[in-house]
Structure 1
Amino acid sequence: MAKPGWLSAAVLKQIILSYTYVVTWMTLSCGVILYNKYILDGNMYNWPYPITLTMIHMAFCSALAFLIIRVLGRVPSANMPLSIYLKSVVPIGVLYALSLWASNSAYIYLSVSFIQMLKALTPVAVYSWGILLKKDPFKPSVMLNMVAISVGVAIAAYGEAKFDVLGVVIQLCAVLFEAARLVIIELLLKSKGITLNAITTLYYVAPSCLLFLSIPWFIVEYPALREASSWNLDLFTFGTNAVWAFGLNLAVFLIVSNLSALTMNVAGVVKDWILIGISWSVIKDRVTPVNLMGYVVALLGVLYYQRAKLQAMKAVDKEKEGQGQGEGDVESGRLLEEAESDRGSLDKKHQLEG
């Protein structure tokens, strides 16, 4: 018998595993963001083709997801009928493609720190889409919370040293598309009882995302790539970048399965501050006091919103505890998506960051 005050081996093992999952996810998430910034930024690797980069990620993730599910059989597929796929998954794939295209494009114009600050608007966009699509009821208290977040982001934008209007518009579009994707997942999939993890999401969504991206790619980037003779890709750079992105999705798979939404919300906040610190100290982006003040205001609003949702989730769990229903796990997954895409990853959710 363990001595009083001592942790059992099983509890200690779970704590170590939890911290390992969190550190792995944070490392991979930060790595994908910084790696994408490095490739796309004109002052670094200088390869300004965000659609092509996103397509490389989607092709690689599609292939590996197919290998894991169909060849190795390590993760069961959802056995989704074609009609459901066309009506539900394809629209999600389109929104996912638009979100990734816009978010990767923003790295060309904005600093990593400022992008993370703008991502704080994700809960505002999710709630707004929820009201427009009649998924969520309008609540004055929640809307006041959304206004506080928006004011904080506005202050951060006002203090941005390298404010770029086009970059801000692109990043805001990314937030809107990602928020729409999260809401559509609830309406088109989870309402039908279909829940996808990170790997099955890639298996079903990444191919449609890749197909949709090929349309603007032929129009926007194919001519530029042909003229610039940039077809000889650096296999090491783009290969490791794609592996890193897929590794992030594997980490999300473990995170959603093993940790609570509260843990991920806290980890997401820590990750954002780490990215801001790296942006300032390593990349040498300028972070002003007004920037930080605005972000703190927005972050407090986000944390309050997440706290309210977690309390609501716990109340639902208590009501259904005696009935043996597991809807709390589904809600935890949705909270994870909103927190990381958040601002994410994949949110997370299926917090997929391509």
Structure 2
Amino acid sequence: MATKREDGDAEQGLISGEEKRADGGEDTAQRPGRIRRSIHPVFYIAAWIFLSNTTILFNKWLIDNRGFKYPATLTCWHLIFATISTQILARTTSLLDGRKTVKMTGRVYLRAIVPIGLLYSASLVCSNMVYLYLSVAFIQMLKSASPVIVLLTAWAWRVEQPSLKRFINVIVIVFGVALASVGEINFSFIGFLFQLGGTTAEAMRLIMIQILLSGEGQNMDPLVSLYYYAPVCAIMNIFIAGAAEAPTFEFGDIAKAGYGLLLLNAAVAFLLNVSSVFLIGKTSGLVMTLTGIFKSILLVVVSVLIWNTSISGLQFIGYGIALGGLTYYSLGWEQLVSITAGFTSWFKSIFGSQGSKTRVSPAARKALIAVLAVLTTLVLTSGFLYSTGLANTVIQLPSRNDSE
């Protein structure tokens, strides 16, 4: 939901507490009982992936399985919750201290925050509306074309100069998404338009942030931007929800969905924004890009297992082409070569011969092999059950009325 910084020089977050102890323990000897232990960046990566995918799956589940078919109202509730939460955090924690460096005037608010907030609102509403028409897996396939829309919008606004190399890369991604769309069994043109509208609104929002806020000398992290955008978006969504869903809205559907579940849903969506702040601060733009690509693949797999979504071979090939183009677009050839070399070196350090220098113990290698074996077995078993139709077996549980 929040803006992601793409700068590669973000803080790495690798606090040197453990490094100092490894150098001889001098720091420990001088300051007994005051050893600082930092949280490993893997924790922030895992938390962001979990909360991001949980938010998407939670929204889809509320709309499809709990009968809360009011995407605009759900988005409005998220933004109201975010408005209240950011105001509380600003007064009780240091997470929003970045707002003190923002020079917010009435001119900046009306010229930048309000229009960007309206585009943000449109992006969120469309992103939730699409769950009424398309599967989560197919939505993620369409989202792989987001950089294409952003690049085309940047060219249209003359923020970037067109280049033949990037244009060819764009064609590859579009071709992959087109194949995935052709292979989609339950294709909905209305859902496709909602996804396209949400992606376009998000692209325009990012470009306007680059033009307006950068021109005003502002620099906001995702949580600070939510602090300013959420009230504008909440007010805008109240009008959207009132016009689009008020005539068919039934208050009984709130109780049907569950007050606690709706509160939990908004809390998870807000925690996603908090986790993105920590992820940006503790890693780099490169790690964030790789994490986003991996998250997309993982979400497709999880959604297939939960909803038994059918993916055709053509769709699988198209998504693979789109992901390949997206990876090359995001990283470039030099980064890909560097990452491949680093992974190869890491792999050799774990599974190398006893004579090679390695910091991984034999017990750790055996544990890693065991984990990989278990994961491979689970994947193969799940694929077998799904292909034989056993995964489609529905267990009918007695309803509450039957038990009474």
- Report if aligned partners of 1:117, 1:156 keep a CA contact under 8 Å in 2: yes
- Residues 200 and 257 (structure 1), Cα distance of their counterparts in 2 relative to 1, 3 Å cut: same
Cα deviation, residue 14, structure 1: 8.8
- Aligned partner letter, 1:18: P
- Where does the alignment leave 5 or more consecutive residues of structure 2 unmatched? 1-15, 23-35, 336-404
Question: Identity over aligned residues, as a percent?
Answer: 31
Where do 1:212-251 residues align within 5 Å?
A: 212-226=236-250, 229-230=252-253, 232=255, 234-251=258-275
1:22 to 32, 37, 45: 45
Equivalent residue, structure 1, for 2:55 = 32
Cα deviation, residue 254, structure 1: 0.3
2 CA distance for matches of 1:174 and 1:168? 10
1 CA distance for matches of 2:109 and 2:124? 20
- Report if aligned partners of 2:76, 2:237 keep a CA contact under 8 Å in 1: yes
1 CA distance for matches of 2:221 and 2:333? 21
- Residues 287 and 111 (structure 1), Cα distance of their counterparts in 2 relative to 1, 3 Å cut: same
1:103-161 per-position Cα deviation (integer Å, ceiling 9, x unaligned): 10001111111000000111110011101111111112111111110000000001111
Secondary structure (helix, strand or coil) at the match of 2:50 reads: helix
- Report if aligned partners of 1:94, 1:212 keep a CA contact under 8 Å in 2: yes
Cα deviation, residue 191, structure 1: 2.8
1 CA distance for matches of 2:89 and 2:230? 14
- Report if aligned partners of 1:131, 1:138 keep a CA contact under 8 Å in 2: yes
Equivalent residue, structure 2, for 1:66 = 87
- Higher mean alpha-carbon deviation, 12-21 vs 103-112, is at 12-21
- Report if aligned partners of 1:121, 1:153 keep a CA contact under 8 Å in 2: yes
1:125 aligns with 2:146: no
Equivalent residue, structure 2, for 1:90 = 114
- Residues 115 and 72 (structure 1), Cα distance of their counterparts in 2 relative to 1, 3 Å cut: same
- Aligned partner letter, 1:175: T
- Aligned partner letter, 1:60: F
1:157 aligns with 2:181: yes
1:164-215 per-position Cα deviation (integer Å, ceiling 9, x unaligned): 1111111111111111111111011123221111221111001111111122
1:252-286 per-position Cα deviation (integer Å, ceiling 9, x unaligned): 01011111111111111211111111111121111
- Higher mean alpha-carbon deviation, 58-67 vs 192-201, is at 192-201
- Residues 55 and 8 (structure 1), Cα distance of their counterparts in 2 relative to 1, 3 Å cut: closer
2 CA distance for matches of 1:21 and 1:73? 18
- Aligned partner letter, 1:173: G
Cα deviation, residue 74, structure 1: 4.2
- Higher mean alpha-carbon deviation, 293-302 vs 12-21, is at 12-21
2 CA distance for matches of 1:190 and 1:30? 30
- Residues 140 and 74 (structure 1), Cα distance of their counterparts in 2 relative to 1, 3 Å cut: closer
Moved over 3 A (4+): 10-16, 70-74, 228-233, 308-311
- Where does the alignment leave 5 or more consecutive residues of structure 1 unmatched? 1-6, 312-354
Equivalent residue, structure 1, for 2:75 = 54
Where do 1:1-354 residues align within 5 Å?
A: 9-10=18-19, 17-41=40-64, 44-72=65-93, 74-76=95-97, 77=99, 78-226=102-250, 229-230=252-253, 232=255, 234-308=258-332
1:237-263 per-position Cα deviation (integer Å, ceiling 9, x unaligned): 100000000110000010111111111
Equivalent residue, structure 2, for 1:346 = none
Secondary structure (helix, strand or coil) at the match of 1:285 reads: coil
2 CA distance for matches of 1:54 and 1:67? 20
When normalised by structure 2's length, the TM-score is 0.71
1:293-344 per-position Cα deviation (integer Å, ceiling 9, x unaligned): 1011111111111113997xxxxxxxxxxxxxxxxxxxxxxxxxxxxxxxxx
- Residues 24 and 72 (structure 1), Cα distance of their counterparts in 2 relative to 1, 3 Å cut: closer
